[in-house]
A and B are shown apart, each in its own frame.
Chain A
Amino acid sequence: MASSSRLAIADTTEAIPAISTADLHKHYGGLEVLKGIDFHANDGEVVAILGASGSGKSTFLRCLNLLELPSAGRLHIFGEEVKLRPGDANLRIADRKQIDRLRTQVAMVFQNFCLWSHMSVLDNLMEAPVHVQRRGRAEVRDEAETVLKRVGLLERANAYPAQLSGGQQQRAAIARALVMKPRVLLFDEPTSALDPELVGEVLKVMRDLAAEGRTMLIVTHEMAFARDVSSRILFLEKGRIEAEGSPQQLFGGGVNERFDQFISRFSQG
């Protein structure tokens, strides 16, 4: 009896997804960008979100840490419902403190890096942990240096963002997200603004993160990366989930016609 009840507890904790959305809608004026997305990502999953431009994939990702406010629907983060209240066009944040707390748990990496240009790399890393999470400076500094070492930027800790290459900036931005010790990492086209020869160094860091079992949601156009690294593909088209499945299934072809068309357009360049 005892062992079976323990098993039941283990099952319920495992069943709580890292992030889940129910019937998530988003429209800008008359334009409906998301038409009801039901989605969940389990802890440890790496989900690649694919789709043509205008499919709503970036908007969807940005809704997950409320950079975009959905127009309707529900959002849970580790089982906790994000408190939203009705507004004019979109839902509104009902509890800013809750959102700010959850945002440190669901960290975002942007296409344009968005490092704070008036701060050194190290200060960029320490900013949120010290001022938002209110952790001790010494501990945060140690953590920041460990993370910088990991992304290969320790010797550039005192450089300013303008002094770094695009690839270095994006690695610093990933480090900035990691220092907050988030439980989920969101990547919004992390390599799209990079020169082709700098893409590899960023993807390598992301590969390492995926390999250590981190929960990651990645909007990307790097098909090979999505196929090799992700545990699940989410294919959006016109604001809906058109196809979903393991990379082996989907990239094998024949599962979804539109996905196959999308991929073939890509391989043609």
Chain B
Amino acid sequence: MNLGIIELLGFGSQGWGGPLLKAAGVTLAAASCGFFLGSLLGICGASLKLARAGVLRTIGHFYTTVFRGVPEILVVYLFYFGGSVVLTNAMNSGGFPGFYSLPAFAIGVIAVGVVSGAYQTEAFRSAFLRLDRGQIEAGTACGMSKLLLLRRIIAPQTLRVALPALGNIWQSVLKETSLLSVIGLTELLRQAGTAAGSTRQPLLFYGAAAVMFLIIGRITGLILTRMENHLAKPWRR
């Protein structure tokens, strides 16, 4: 009860330093995996929304409308509890009684991925629309196949244009992984809550969690800025 701040945040037997660091690792892992999944979904979503066929555009539009319009925490609940009910029913009817829950980390990553994918769809789509058509035409005129054009001309230029928007989405993905605490994933917020509860030091631990979020955000932000600068090099005079 009378431990000092150093002991409470330290790595000793009474300290919460170890669990908090581990939880920060879980936050970073969930955010990275979710963001990566979101990038894949975003590329698919953008392709759908840019497709010539109306049906495909409608599907893409439906995806971004739904997952940008529904609160993220609801998506998390829906995927986790809804998914667990479906799984339990399936297991029970297959002759395995009891309640089955889905793995929190995997479902969390999927939820974060699907939601950030909707935002990334817009980032990729608007970046593509800003490309210089003439440069794409020049590739066609050189006999490039569609795949080669995509790989050598369209993808690198789209990435460069989309990167600032993607950086913003990353920062919000990082914060929103804290929502995964509601499905029992021991990420930074949940671990801080546990520590705060058992030591009655909410100010200290929530404060520490806030600082750790800021540090992770700052470091990853710097990496993204460096990438941005690197990709922007050809456009500097």
Q: Which A residues form the contact surface with B (CB < 8 A)?
A: 65, 67, 96, 99-104, 107-108, 110, 112, 114-120, 127-128, 131-133, 160-163, 173, 176, 180
Question: B138 and A110: CB pair below 8 A?
Answer: yes
The chain B residue sitting closest to A96, CB to CB, is B145
Q: Can you spell out 26 A-B residue pairs with CB atoms less than 8 angstroms apart?
A: A96-B145, A100-B144, A102-B143, A103-B140, A103-B142, A103-B143, A104-B143, A108-B138, A110-B134, A110-B141, A114-B132, A114-B135, A114-B137, A116-B138, A116-B139, A116-B153, A116-B157, A118-B231, A127-B152, A128-B142, A131-B152, A133-B143, A160-B233, A162-B234, A162-B235, A176-B142
Provide the B115-148 mask, 1 if CB < 8 A to any CB of A, else 0. Answer: 0000000000000000010110111111111001
The chain A residue sitting closest to B234, CB to CB, is A160
Question: A132 and B142: CB pair below 8 A?
Answer: yes
Is B160 located at the chain interface by the 8 A CB criterion?
A: yes
Is B237 located at the chain interface by the 8 A CB criterion?
A: yes
Question: A118 and B160: CB pair below 8 A?
Answer: yes
Q: Which B residues form the contact surface with A (CB < 8 A)?
A: 132, 134-135, 137-145, 148, 152-153, 156-157, 160, 231, 233-237
Q: Which one of B135, B157, B160, B236 has the greatest number of beta carbons of chain A within 10 Å? A: B135
Tell me the smallest distance from the CB of A171 to a CB of chain B, in Å.
15
Partner of B135, one of A65, A104, A117, A133: A117
Question: A117 and B142: CB pair below 8 A?
Answer: no
Contact A119:B138 (CB < 8 A) given known A100-B144, A100-B145, A132-B144: no
Partner of A65, one of B134, B141, B235, B237: B141
Query: Given the complex of chains A and B, what is the CA–CA distance between A180 and B234 in angstroms?
Result: 24
Tell me the smallest distance from the CB of B47 to a CB of chain A, in Å.
20
Question: B236 and A67: CB pair below 8 A?
Answer: no
Partner of B235, one of A114, A117, A173: A117
Question: A119 and B234: CB pair below 8 A?
Answer: yes
Contact A114:B152 (CB < 8 A) given known A103-B143, A131-B144, A132-B143: no
Query: Given the complex of chains A and B, what is the CA–CA distance between A117 and B153 in angstroms?
Result: 9
Question: A118 and B234: CB pair below 8 A?
Answer: yes
Tell me the smallest distance from the CB of B161 to a CB of chain A, in Å.
10
Tell me the smallest distance from the CB of B79 to a CB of chain A, in Å.
38
Residues of B near A176 (CB, < 8 A) are 142
Residues of B near A110 (CB, < 8 A) are 134, 137-138, 141
Tell me the smallest distance from the CB of A143 to a CB of chain B, in Å.
15
Query: Given the complex of chains A and B, what is the CA–CA distance between A133 and B144 in angstroms?
Result: 9
Question: B135 and A108: CB pair below 8 A?
Answer: no
Tell me the smallest distance from the CB of B219 to a CB of chain A, in Å.
27
The chain A residue sitting closest to B144, CB to CB, is A132
Tell me the smallest distance from the CB of A159 to a CB of chain B, in Å.
9
Query: Given the complex of chains A and B, what is the CA–CA distance between A117 and B237 in angstroms?
Result: 12
Query: Given the complex of chains A and B, what is the CA–CA distance between A180 and B141 in angstroms?
Result: 11
Query: Given the complex of chains A and B, what is the CA–CA distance between A15 and B236 in angstroms?
Result: 50
The chain B residue sitting closest to A180, CB to CB, is B142
Contact A104:B137 (CB < 8 A) given known A117-B234, A118-B160: no
The chain A residue sitting closest to B141, CB to CB, is A108
Query: Given the complex of chains A and B, what is the CA–CA distance between A67 and B142 in angstroms?
Result: 11
The chain A residue sitting closest to B140, CB to CB, is A67
Residues of B near A132 (CB, < 8 A) are 142-144, 148
